Amino acid sequence: MIEQLLNYEIYNGNTVGDYLSLEFLAGIAGSILGALVLLIIGFFLAGFFSRRIRAISNKYQQLDNTLFNFLANIVRYAVIAFTFLIVLNTFGIQTTSIVAVIGAAGLAIGLALQGTLSNVAAGVMIIFFRPFKNGDFVEVAGKMGTVKDISLNFTELADLSNVQVIVPNSQVWGNIITNYSTNQTRRAEWSFGVGYGANLKTAEEVIRKTILSDPRALSEPAPFIQVNNLGDFSVDFLVRVWVAAPDFFQFQADMKRQVKEALDEAGVDIPFPTRTLINSAE
């Protein structure tokens, strides 16, 4: 009976079944078209909001680019996920059951990937609390280098030889972090030894003049140059001078050589360990 009704000719040779098929196809086509429009709008809004958040960071120099890039990615993926849920609703799919399935799958995946998720959790803490940022010179997990990138899973460093070093975030956050770039200035320190027969006042003046004549040496805070130790072979001067953080390593290396040459030129004896042998048989 139903088959006869569907095959019943009602207009210009078209049957009821033809009209139902056309209506069904039109409905499907409309749903697909609507889904495409929603996807286009969703991806546009995701990109728009992501760019706006990054623009805020670029506009204000005091804001951290890494943190805002992280927030921009979260907003982008959240908008895309919300868009897909709306698209599924247009096809009559119950999204509540899908969310429940995703939640259960996420729990199972989370148990299987505990190590990876610990890196992600540590990455979130690093990004929000900002113990360091891109471009800082740091020492983390026993590795020293310049921070090149901070992601949710790992921190990328370039060591002193410009070799890429990848450190998992769980090891970064769970260990002592030394950031050499946080402060504007650093204190350089040396120990210079002179012979016991040397004129200590002359030696101190030579050391002071050599170091403080370098434009990289800062007068404030005041430098410290004092006899610190009476060693077995030398009288040791402890020297502490403040310098801008970017100049620290080169300044410290340069002064070792320049002070040695200045002491030689001034005739100040720089001793080296000696050993006296006594022949007990004599």
* DSSP letters for 44-106: HHHHHHHHHHHHHHHH-TTS-HHHHHHHHHHHHHHHHHHHHHHHHHHTT--HHHHHHHHHHHH
CATH architecture, domain defined by 185-265: 2-Layer Sandwich (3.30)
Evaluate the omega torsion of the peptide bond into residue 215 and state whether it is cis, within 30 degrees of 0: no
Q: What is the pLDDT of residue 16?
A: 44
d(CA 88, CA 74): 21
Examine the pLDDT at 59 and tell me if it is beyond 50: yes
Q: What is the pLDDT of residue 62?
A: 54
The CATH 3.30.70.100 domain(s) of the chain lie at: 185-265
Question: CA 214, 220, 222, 225: dihedral to nearest 10 degrees?
Answer: -20
- Average pLDDT taken over every residue of the chain: 78
Q: What is the pLDDT of residue 11?
A: 44
* pLDDT tens per residue across span 27-37: 666 667 777 88
Examine the pLDDT at 212 and tell me if it is beyond 60: yes
Q: What is the pLDDT of residue 4?
A: 46
Tokens found for residue 158: 């370039």
Dihedrals φ, ψ of 137, to 5°?
Answer: -100, 115
The CATH 1.10.287.1260 domain(s) of the chain lie at: 2-112
- Tokens 């320190």 map to which residue? 189
The CATH 2.30.30.60 domain(s) of the chain lie at: 132-179
Q: What is the mean pLDDT of residues 248-252?
A: 90
Residue 47: exposure state from Cβ atoms within 10 A (0-12, 13-18, ≥19): middle
More confident residue, 59 or 97: 59
d(CA 162, CA 119): 24
According to CATH, the topology of domain 132-179 is SH3 type barrels. (2.30.30)
Percent of the chain with pLDDT over 70: 72
Residue ranges with strand state E in 164-273: 164-168, 177-179, 185-194, 224-230, 235-244
Q: What is the pLDDT of residue 1?
A: 47
User: Binning pLDDT at 50, 70 and 90, where does residue 40 land?
Assistant: confident
Q: What is the CA radius of gyration of the chain?
A: 36
Instruction: Kindly report the CATH number that applies to the domain delimited by 2-112.
Output: 1.10.287.1260
What end-to-end distance do the CA atoms of the chain give, in Å?
Answer: 135
Tokens found for residue 55: 């623009």
* pLDDT tens per residue across span 10-28: 444 444 444 445 565 566 6
* pLDDT tens per residue across span 85-143: 777 777 666 666 666 666 666 655 555 445 667 877 888 788 778 888 888 999 998 88
Q: What is the pLDDT of residue 61?
A: 60
